[in-house]
Structure 1
Amino acid sequence: MAESSSLLRRLYLSLYNWALFIGWFQVLYLALKTLNESGPQHVYSAVQRPLLIAQSAAGLEILHGLVGLVRSPITATLPQISSRLFLIWGILWSFAETQSHALVSSLVISWSITEIIRYSFYGMKEALGSQPSWLQWLRYSTFLLLYPIGISSEVGLIYLALPYIKNSEKYCIRMPNAWNFSFDYFYFSIICLVIYVPGSPHMYQYMLGQRKKVLSKSKSKSKGD
């Protein structure tokens, strides 16, 4: 029974990771093709559907952590996935004024390269039980450059959206109302922006720690062999 459960888990995670790999590969292909042919102002419209699908599907990773399908700590997964969902739905999809900015290109390209590497890494791990050393190196090294680019793009797009959020009053709840509750999306977005200040360095330090641990272990294993 336990063996059957383990097999189903590996099959599900393998399919999940390779499906997301294909989704992000499509995002990267369309982004680079559009950037080359039409310019950065058209990148979002070209990648919108696969971007929304691929990043929204990543929300399942929170569930995977909660039910114990994967060992990734929920404290690391939750803030990263939540911030990305806020970006794609709460900023880019909700405020068209941000969609033609050049930061969309840097955001999409840095995200998609990161995820192509990450999902192929885990896809091979689940399907084959191992992955090549070069892919492991990419998994734990490319973030050194791509993470700062992605975070800078996220922060920049939220900041650019603030005037449009304030003027539109979209998603705001004003009093009086039956719930006796008010919500201002403009100030909520500012709070999200402020969270990046301590959150980004903390996440970067966490990933540096993971890189050191994994690559040191891999190096020691190679010497042992």
Structure 2
Amino acid sequence: MAFNLEAPPGTDIWRKPPSTNIWNAPISHTNTGPLKKFLSARVTFWADWTERYDQAGLLLVPRRASAPPPTSTGPAPDKWIKTGLEYYQSRPQLSTVGCDRFADWSVVPLVLTAGEADPGAGTGLTIEIAREGDEHGKSLWVYRLVLGSGGEVAERIPLREICWVLADEDDETAGEWLLDVGPLVARPEKVAAAPLKVEFKSFEVQWAS
């Protein structure tokens, strides 16, 4: 599924103490299911990055079934994750932000592997977030995927492990946990003259049967 999305200037998702709580990025193409059945989400995208904090990728919002689904004009949800690319210090950076109470941000420069095609030349950047588990428990892992010429995964580069998301997924005392998954677009710079236009080459979410 290929599509284009735009984010006007002054849009972002960010929460920082003592009082910053921004939630006005466009919300669309949301795929929703039970949190405990979520397996993975993957997106391939690219844009003409020009403004500080230009960003695109994946947005995940865990919520109780009694809570309203996220919208760009509604209240900010309590918990969320965004991961993908953010334009920072005048270069594309691989970025992941997790928000449980307040947000934290990890960022690392986008470095291509040997022989990898430039994502801006048409291939796009592919990000995946997947459920995994080991002897210590369960978590979500964020990866940058290097794809081969046939679309196969040639390399899976780990970016971040997020553990708190799945901690309460089996606790239904206050209602079932759901997960909203969608593409992310935002252009925080208010002085930008035009919207950020992002080309999404694919967006897919996998749920257990």
Shorter-chain TM-score: which interval?
Answer: under 0.3
Q: Which has the higher helix share?
A: 1
TM-score (norm 2): 0.25
Q: Which has the higher strand share?
A: 2
TM-score (norm 1): 0.24
Greater gyration radius = 1
